[in-house]
């Protein structure tokens, strides 16, 4: 039995003609803002005053709804453009310097690392552990100590 397999599953579903739900929402919000500007400014001023702000809002709304630049939606292109101009253009690599990304939570990570270092200092050295393993059947106290160390390290 043959089945029809959808080919373009990444495409958004259209609601009204070629307009998707997301585009319709953008048009409604932008149209509402433009209409509110028109209503508030048209009562008091001539067309020379209220037309530019309304036209700017309409153009921005149409750009966000329909414009694609280099195959990217306008809002994704705009965010990439801003990111490109804000982040450094050249990156340098210094061997073994750790994580190059600075997070606001680094001070919390440093505290956790300090706690782990303290815990690691309390654990046995390799020689002590090998001695416990070598005398595993000879001493019950060392056997209990070995079980305790194994339980601590594997939990």
The position carrying tokens 């690392």 is 113
User: Using CA atoms, how far apart are residues 101 and 83, in angstroms rounded to an integer?
Assistant: 15
Residue 52 tokens, joined: 């530019």
Look at residue 121 in the predicted model and tell me its pLDDT: 53
Letter string b/e over residues 11-49, b meaning 16 or more CB atoms within 10 A of that residue's CB: eeeeeeeeeeeebeebbeebeebbeebbeebeeeeeeee
CA dist 22 → 1, 15, 133 (Å): 37, 9, 65
Tens of pLDDT, residues 94-109: 776 666 566 666 666 6
Using CA of residue 144, residue 148, residue 151, residue 153, what is the dihedral sign?
negative
- 54 Cα distance to chain centroid: 34
- Cα 34-36-41 angle, rounded to 5 deg: 95
Q: How confident is the model at residue 54 (pLDDT cuts 50, 70, 90)?
A: very high
User: Using CA atoms, how far apart are residues 99 and 95, in angstroms rounded to an integer?
Assistant: 11
Look at residue 134 in the predicted model and tell me its pLDDT: 74
Look at residue 93 in the predicted model and tell me its pLDDT: 72
Q: What percent of the chain has pLDDT over 90?
A: 39
Q: Residue 48 pLDDT more than 70?
A: yes
Tens of pLDDT, residues 24-47: 999 999 999 999 999 999 988 898
């Amino acid at each position: 039995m043959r089945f029809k397999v959808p080919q373009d599953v990444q495409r958004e579903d259209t609601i009204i003609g070629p307009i998707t739900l997301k585009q319709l929402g953008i048009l409604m919000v932008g149209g509402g803002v433009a209409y509110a500007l028109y209503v508030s400014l048209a009562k008091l001023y001539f067309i020379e005053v209220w037309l530019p702000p309304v036209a700017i809002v309409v153009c921005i709304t149409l750009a966000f709804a329909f414009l694609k630049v280099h195959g990217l939606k306008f809002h994704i292109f705009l965010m990439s453009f801003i990111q490109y101009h804000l982040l450094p253009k050249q990156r340098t690599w210094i061997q073994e310097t750790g994580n190059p990304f600075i997070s606001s939570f680094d001070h919390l990570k440093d505290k956790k690392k300090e706690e782990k270092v303290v815990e690691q200092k309390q654990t046995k050295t390799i020689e002590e552990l090998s001695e416990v393993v070598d005398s595993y059947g000879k001493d019950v106290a060392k056997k209990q100590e070995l079980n305790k160390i194994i339980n601590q390290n594997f939990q």
